[in-house]
Chain A
Amino acid sequence: MIATRLHKMKQVADRTFRLHHLNIGPRLALCFMLIILAMSAGSTVLIWQFQQARTQAERLAAVDQELIAVLQAHISFMSFYERLDVLAQTENTTILVQQIEAIHNALLQETERARSKLSHLAPEVQLDPTLMPTLSAIQLELPAQLQSMAMLAKSGDWEAVRLRLANQIGPLESSSAALVENVDHEVAEQRAQAVMNIRQAQQRIFLIVLTTAALTLLFAAVMGLTVTRSITQPLGRLVDGTAALARGDFFHRVPASGNDEIAGLGNVFNEMIVKLQDLYRELQASETYLAEAQKLSHTGSFGWNISDGTIYWSEETFRIFEFEPTTKVTVAAILDRTHPEDRSTLWQVIERASRDRIAFDVEHRLLMPDESVKYLRVIGHPSTNEENCREFVGAVTDTTDRKHAEEALSKARSELAKVTRITSLGVLTASIAHEVSQPLSGIITNANTCLRMLSADPPNVDGACETAKRTIRDGNRASAVITRLRALFRKKELTLEPLDLNEAAREVIALSLGDLQRNRVVLGSELADDLPPVNGDRIQLQQVILNLLRNALDAMSAVEDRPRELLIRTERDEGGWVRLTVRDVGVGFTPEARDKLFDAFYTTKSDGMGIGLSVSRSIIETHQGRLWAAANDGPGATFSFSIPSGTDTKVQ
């Protein structure tokens, strides 16, 4: 109840005072100023009361002084009287006269002193009205009396002296005594009053101090509380706002009222939240797009700090490697997942990258826990161009699908080629068989007929001759078939054009990359820069290169103890010719086989047709060149062909 009341009062006070429209500085200044004012007011009142008390004290002192003065006067007067009396008794004139002079001076002095004292009293002191006149009377009368007394003494009338003393001065003395009493009375009164006043003043002071203290305290407390709250509450709301922001709550707004600094801060804060919210939304959207894109393209990103080995992976990278997103990624873990055969390659790449800080682009396989294999392409480069850049950024692409597709395509292509080869060869064979077997059949039949005719009784010689003639005819026919076939084989229409053998070689290499990779062949190419163009049939020359490549591949298919290195080299040959060499480290060939290599239907392959090299040689010879083979110093063989270039100087 009280709390709500206070709260309401506070609200009213707030509204009335509109503290929020003042800046904090002025607000605090105002607060302190009011407190100071209150204290000043209190002090003023206090001082006033102190003054009052002091006045009373002074009055008291003055009254006391009054009494003292009167008493002093009286006492001196009394002592003077006593002395006179004593003097009168002694009846010594000279001493009397002397003494009277002294007494006279002393008396005057005293009264004068009394008078001056009394007249110098504080004006608050109410002097007894009879006081001063009495004193003046004494002052006036006494000297006269003294004189007369002196004269009397001189005359020797000591009785008269004593009489005068008793009658004239005596009453003076008693009047002064009476005065003293009066004054004493009055003084007592005044004193009592003054004391009372002082006590009153004391009480009032006490009260005032208390009240002032209490009021000031209360005021200070209220002001302090109000002003403090007017600062801390908005600050609290601001703090809530920042806490909400830290939590990620972008919808929180700081309620800001008024236009002091805190309200200003609150407004700015709200603007900031809105901006952050927008930025965050944009970022989220962009992140989502990126993540989706990574997912769709099977490409994940990574960051790698080569000094401390920390690795960051995007979601997709985790998915590609099939690690839990919470695992800590290390180089060791990556190598662990890598296919054993590719581990050394990958390790070399990693070493080189971290040592030389150069970009890398490597393809390797992963061996998954379920024994499946994934093909990966990893590209990375230093994240900045600085010399001491310690961070790499890059991407990991899962190329398994593409590899499979490529492999399937490559396989299909080679199957197709094989089938085509076989088919066409089959067709060729069938055609040859057909063409030749007819006359052959005729020959055999005729010969058999001839034998029977001749062994008949009598022998049918005419018939036999006829069969013999027919035999010759069929033989010729068969011969004609062979001749035609030879012509068919040899004569191919060449489309001659100037071509760059390097380019042709590169195309063949590109076509065969799949095969080469599948067979784990390490391809080296040394294509001369200054190769002159040759005049030739591009397709046919490429067929030759392909044939040599395939042969090399087949020759190395059983090689396990050494890297399957295949070298293709082009260079200038003498006389302006151009030479292409294919070198392998395969099974090679025996010296005896060397002469038969290029023979048609000579093959060492179980599924070979044996026509590749013979056809290749015939193509090269059509180009006015030559094709030959040589065994290597080490394992394997080297096949080379050399053809004249467009600028050949050799006369063919």
Chain B
Amino acid sequence: MCGPMGVDLPELGAGQSNRYLSLIDAHPRFAQSVPMESLEGCAIDKLLVAVVDDDESIRDSLPDLLREFGFAAHAYSSAEEFLASSGIAQARCLVLDIAMPGMTGLGLQQELKSRGRIIPIVFITASKDEVARAQAFEEGAVEVLLKPFSDTALFEALNKALRSG
């Protein structure tokens, strides 16, 4: 898949590809390396953000917001589902619930690590479990957000995640 890595997204979420492209354009990193033509020619996929949460409300609501942010989004109802899918290869960022039946969010984090698949993870969780929170960060999570979270918080976290990736 072709797509720039480490692009700085501006604060205001722009949904249009045009604006998006111009931003990519403006970035010094890609000023020379990626010719506009190739970019225009190539169907620039939006960055895929995978959402893994066992809760229906989250799965229904979050992808739309992410799309409004300008990402591509896909929701999975369990860690296993995600692992079995193509999202594991394609996802640029992971929005992950911690407490899930079956493999937990932290478990998925470990699993990806052991598979050598480095995807920046933003955890979202309903419980204030300090231990889990600490462990998440220790294992390299970008952020742990408490539900319900504001869109701004999510956006910042995604920024951070893509910057670090």
B residues 39-55 touching A (CB-CB < 8 Å): 55
Contact between chains at B60 and A453 (CB < 8 Å)? no
Contact between chains at B58 and A442 (CB < 8 Å)? yes
Contact between chains at A437 and B61 (CB < 8 Å)? no
- B147 interfacial contact with A, CB 8 Å: yes
- B72 interfacial contact with A, CB 8 Å: no
Complex Cα distance A463/B64, Å? 8
- A11 interfacial contact with B, CB 8 Å: no
Contact between chains at A438 and B68 (CB < 8 Å)? no
Contact between chains at A438 and B126 (CB < 8 Å)? yes
CB distance from B60 to the nearest CB of A (A): 5
Contact between chains at B55 and A445 (CB < 8 Å)? no
Closest to B54 in A: A438
What B residues does A453 contact at CB under 8 A?
64, 68
Q: A433-B126, A437-B147, A444-B148 are in contact. Are A452 and B68 (CB under 8 A)?
A: yes
What B residues does A477 contact at CB under 8 A?
57
CB distance from B91 to the nearest CB of A (A): 19
Contact between chains at A441 and B151 (CB < 8 Å)? no
Q: Which of A77-85, A337-345, A466-474 interfaces with chain B?
A: A466-474
- B150 interfacial contact with A, CB 8 Å: yes
Complex Cα distance A443/B65, Å? 12
Contact between chains at B60 and A444 (CB < 8 Å)? no
Contact between chains at B148 and A448 (CB < 8 Å)? no
Contact between chains at B65 and A448 (CB < 8 Å)? yes
A residues 446-462 touching B (CB-CB < 8 Å): 446, 448-449, 452-453, 456
Task: Please count how many residues in chain B sit with their CB below 8 Å of the partner chain's CB atoms.
Answer: 22
B 48-85 binary contact with A (CB < 8 Å = 1; else 0): 00000001011011101100100000000000000000
The dominant DSSP class at the A interface is helix
What A residues does B150 contact at CB under 8 A?
444, 448
What A residues does B58 contact at CB under 8 A?
438, 441-442, 445
Contact between chains at B126 and A467 (CB < 8 Å)? no
Task: Please count how many residues in chain A sit with their CB below 8 Å of the partner chain's CB atoms.
Answer: 25
- B99 interfacial contact with A, CB 8 Å: yes
Contact between chains at A474 and B126 (CB < 8 Å)? no
Q: A433-B126, A456-B15 are in contact. Are A442 and B60 (CB under 8 A)?
A: yes
CB distance from A466 to the nearest CB of B (A): 7
Contact between chains at B60 and A470 (CB < 8 Å)? yes
Complex Cα distance A624/B61, Å? 46
CB distance from A612 to the nearest CB of B (A): 24
Closest to B55 in A: A438
- A440 interfacial contact with B, CB 8 Å: yes
- A439 interfacial contact with B, CB 8 Å: yes
What B residues does A456 contact at CB under 8 A?
15, 68
What A residues does B61 contact at CB under 8 A?
441-443, 445-446, 449, 467, 470, 474
Task: Kindly name the residue among A441, A442, A448 whose own CB sees the greatest number of chain B CB atoms within 10 A.
Answer: A441
CB distance from B89 to the nearest CB of A (A): 26
Complex Cα distance A434/B55, Å? 10
- B164 interfacial contact with A, CB 8 Å: no
Q: Select one of B13, B99, B124, B126 contacting A452, CB under 8 A.
A: B13
- B137 interfacial contact with A, CB 8 Å: no
Contact between chains at B62 and A445 (CB < 8 Å)? yes
- B127 interfacial contact with A, CB 8 Å: yes
Complex Cα distance A448/B154, Å? 11
Contact between chains at B147 and A438 (CB < 8 Å)? yes
CB distance from A412 to the nearest CB of B (A): 25
Contact between chains at B64 and A434 (CB < 8 Å)? no
CB distance from B17 to the nearest CB of A (A): 13
CB distance from A232 to the nearest CB of B (A): 101
Contact between chains at B15 and A441 (CB < 8 Å)? no
What A residues does B151 contact at CB under 8 A?
444-445, 448
Complex Cα distance A452/B127, Å? 28
- A430 interfacial contact with B, CB 8 Å: yes
What B residues does A466 contact at CB under 8 A?
64
Complex Cα distance A448/B153, Å? 12
What B residues does A467 contact at CB under 8 A?
61, 64
Closest to B62 in A: A445
Complex Cα distance A438/B148, Å? 7
Q: A430-B127, A449-B65, A452-B65 are in contact. Are A444 and B149 (CB under 8 A)?
A: yes
CB distance from B130 to the nearest CB of A (A): 12
What A residues does B126 contact at CB under 8 A?
433-434, 437-438, 441
Q: Select one of A433, A434, A438, A448 contacting B57, CB under 8 A.
A: A438
What B residues does A449 contact at CB under 8 A?
61, 64-65, 68
CB distance from A475 to the nearest CB of B (A): 10
What B residues does A433 contact at CB under 8 A?
126-128
Closest to A463 in B: B64
Closest to A457 in B: B16
Contact between chains at A443 and B148 (CB < 8 Å)? yes
Contact between chains at B13 and A441 (CB < 8 Å)? no
Complex Cα distance A449/B126, Å? 20
Contact between chains at A442 and B57 (CB < 8 Å)? yes
What A residues does B148 contact at CB under 8 A?
437, 440-441, 443-445
Complex Cα distance A510/B71, Å? 67
B residues 1-46 touching A (CB-CB < 8 Å): 13, 15
What A residues does B147 contact at CB under 8 A?
437-438, 440-441
CB distance from A271 to the nearest CB of B (A): 86
Closest to A435 in B: B126
Complex Cα distance A466/B146, Å? 25
Contact between chains at A445 and B65 (CB < 8 Å)? yes
Contact between chains at A434 and B68 (CB < 8 Å)? no
Given contacts A444-B148, A470-B57, A470-B61, 19 further A-B contacts (CB under 8 A): A434-B127, A437-B126, A440-B148, A441-B147, A442-B61, A443-B61, A446-B60, A446-B61, A446-B64, A448-B150, A448-B151, A449-B65, A452-B13, A452-B65, A453-B64, A466-B64, A467-B61, A474-B57, A474-B61
Q: Which residues of A contact B (CB under 8 A)?
A: 430, 433-434, 437-446, 448-449, 452-453, 456, 463, 466-467, 470, 473-474, 477
Going nearest first, the 10 A-B pairs with the smallest beta carbon separation are A442-B57, A441-B147, A441-B148, A445-B61, A448-B151, A452-B68, A437-B126, A437-B147, A440-B148, A434-B126
9 inter-chain pairs at a CB distance below 8 angstroms, sorted by A residue, are: A434-B99, A438-B126, A439-B57, A440-B147, A440-B148, A441-B61, A441-B126, A445-B65, A446-B64
